[in-house]
């Protein structure tokens, strides 16, 4: 996108956020300040998020261990349809990875989002409380996700799920984790293979940044500075780079992978005013080059995570419907 390109907000979205337009968050200086800001924003917008299905979706908590022995929690969300007579081969399910820039977010803060998709897809969701950076940098969060995938496969009969129909859905940084998980599962020849990958404005490329005079800066909800802090926190561990490979691991920053062949059928979406727009578009092109089935949606006039404050906007309803349709293909 050229720096002189004219940009503007989607008209319906602009009206929806008008009551909040005067709020300008402080510029974060480190991972701690970014975490506090993110958690405040996420919790605030989620408090405004309608969740009529909340009383109809049952939540239970499961425990499992990551590769290093750390005990972690998987939250299972069951819509009413999944509590009926068990299917002979089990039911499809979704492993959900929340957002938060690798430094923040939780299953609790994203609970309403998970409930919405569980209710609308009639699928069982497993939401992972993966460890956050910088306390647990790469590869710890990815190890948590891989261990969760193994748990679902190894306990499929007990959980009444079909291990051949496990999808992975990731939001923002969770989308980057999901893509990294799919690459690792491919390379380790995980069986059965992940059935579907659903990446919602995923955080894929540690190299992404735009110039200070770029017109997109006016609309960014996830800025250069936030992106830099999030990636520094995530890549701060010894496992992110090696002497022989000084660039970030492709499992940490999936946009660095040149060969995406063999990945599951993938759904991608991103807003036209999102810092991640170009990296998501490029990732979709690489998937196509690798002969992977791809569904890609670019929504003009909306920034990163736009839907949290625009529940009734046509662009939000269209995006949610497209995501639900993609998940139902499991």
- pLDDT surpassing 60 at residue 302: yes
Q: What is the pLDDT of residue 271?
A: 98
- pLDDT surpassing 70 at residue 220: yes
Q: Determine the Cα–Cα distance for residues 145 and 71; give it in Å rounded to an integer.
A: 13
- pLDDT surpassing 60 at residue 143: yes
Q: Determine the Cα–Cα distance for residues 292 and 264; give it in Å rounded to an integer.
A: 7
Q: What is the pLDDT of residue 51?
A: 84
Residues 11-21 have pLDDT tens digits of: 999 999 999 88
Residues 80-128 have pLDDT tens digits of: 865 555 666 799 999 999 999 999 999 999 999 999 999 999 999 999 9
Structure-model confidence comparison of residues 242 and 227, the more confident one: 227
Q: Determine the Cα–Cα distance for residues 23 and 6; give it in Å rounded to an integer.
A: 24
% of the chain exceeding 70 in pLDDT = 93
Q: What is the pLDDT of residue 315?
A: 98
- pLDDT surpassing 60 at residue 203: yes
Residues 241-300 have pLDDT tens digits of: 543 446 899 999 999 999 999 999 999 999 999 999 999 999 999 999 999 999 999 999
Write out 197-254 in H/E/C secondary structure. EEEECCCCCCCCCCCCCCHHHHHCCCCHHHHHHHHHHHCCCCCCCCCCCCCCCCCCCH
Could you tell me whether strands 161-171 and 196-200 are parallel, antiparallel, or unpaired per DSSP bridges?
Answer: parallel
> What DSSP string describes 141-156?
HHHHHHHHHHHHHHTH
DSSP reduced 3-state for 324: helix
Q: What is the pLDDT of residue 88?
A: 65
Q: What is the pLDDT of residue 243?
A: 39
């Amino acid at each position: 996108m050229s720096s002189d390109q004219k940009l503007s907000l989607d008209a319906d979205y602009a009206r929806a956020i008008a009551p909040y337009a005067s709020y300008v968050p402080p510029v974060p200086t480190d991972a701690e300040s970014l975490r506090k800001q993110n958690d405040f924003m996420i919790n605030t917008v989620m408090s405004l998020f309608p969740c009529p299905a909340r009383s109809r979706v049952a939540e239970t908590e499961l425990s499992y261990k990551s590769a290093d022995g750390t005990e972690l929690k998987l939250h299972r969300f069951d819509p009413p349809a999944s509590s009926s007579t068990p299917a002979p081969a089990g039911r499809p399910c979704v492993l959900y990875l929340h957002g938060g820039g690798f430094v923040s977010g939780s299953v609790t803060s994203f609970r309403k989002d998970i409930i919405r998709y569980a209710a609308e897809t009639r699928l069982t969701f497993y939401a992972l409380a993966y460890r956050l950076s910088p306390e647990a940098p790469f590869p710890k969060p990815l190890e948590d996700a891989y261990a969760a995938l193994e748990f679902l496969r190894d306990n499929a009969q007990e959980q009444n799920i079909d291990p051949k129909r496990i999808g992975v859905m990731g939001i923002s940084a969770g989308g980057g984790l999901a893509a990294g998980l799919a690459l690792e599962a491919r390379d380790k020849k995980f069986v059965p293979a992940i059935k579907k990958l659903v990446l919602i404005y995923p955080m894929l490329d540690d190299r992404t940044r735009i110039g200070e005079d770029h017109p997109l800066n006016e609309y960014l909800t996830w800025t250069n500075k936030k992106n830099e802090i999030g990636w520094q926190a995530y890549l701060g561990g010894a496992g992110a780079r090696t002497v022989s490979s000084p660039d970030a691991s492709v499992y940490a920053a999936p946009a660095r992978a040149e060969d995406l062949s063999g990945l599951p059928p993938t759904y991608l979406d991103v807003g036209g005013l999102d810092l991640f727009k170009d990296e998501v578009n490029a990732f979709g092109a690489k998937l196509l080059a690798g002969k992977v089935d791809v569904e890609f949606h670019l929504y003009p006039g909306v920034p990163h995570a736009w839907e949290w404050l625009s529940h009734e906007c046509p662009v939000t309803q269209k995006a949610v419907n497209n995501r639900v349709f993609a998940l139902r293909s499991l």
